[in-house]
Structure 1
């Protein structure tokens, strides 16, 4: 049942991320303006030994990023994505295998430190 309607299912996440530079308010604002952005992800290196080497198109429906109080390079990224999106790879880019990525958008190195699913939305009226 959970795999049915995978394309229509949306997942929301909260991710603690680190960036190699301090982000300006403009960076945070520009991230929040990105809506229904298509990304292309190749099968991540970390799962390549058990998954087919495919290229997948996925949608990032929305994102918001906020600074962690008291730190200069730590942020909380909230995002809503099409189910099946590799979130870790979307953040760090997976050596260029995920385009665009948070790192490429912000033009810095980005690493994910913690990831939590905060909501799953399914359209059950199909």
Structure 2
């Protein structure tokens, strides 16, 4: 059976349901603190993600999650997680493009945003200011 935007679980319906959160539609990320960002990345992300273009750590190992290099403006699921694991079909089908708003909504609650099982230990940022 083909999916259309009116069927439960369609990507348009998921985005519509999730857009009803506390991240305003005109949200713009404030200027950041590089050192705080480095610490938060190391704490929450670096065990599975890297920021190198080819998803290879300095040790030569690849990681479970996709590289976050060039993430901004990229379509979700456009890049494989690594050479052995394809990207999430659900994220790929979502049509989500990573912007300030979609990134913040995802980082606040990845499971609610994705609406499917994800293989991340990260539960979301409780404080995002």
Q: TM-score, normalised by structure 1?
A: 0.29
Q: TM-score, normalised by structure 2?
A: 0.29
With CA pairs under 8 Å and 6+ residues apart, which has the higher RCO, 1 or 2?
A: 1
More helix by share: 2
More strand by share: 1
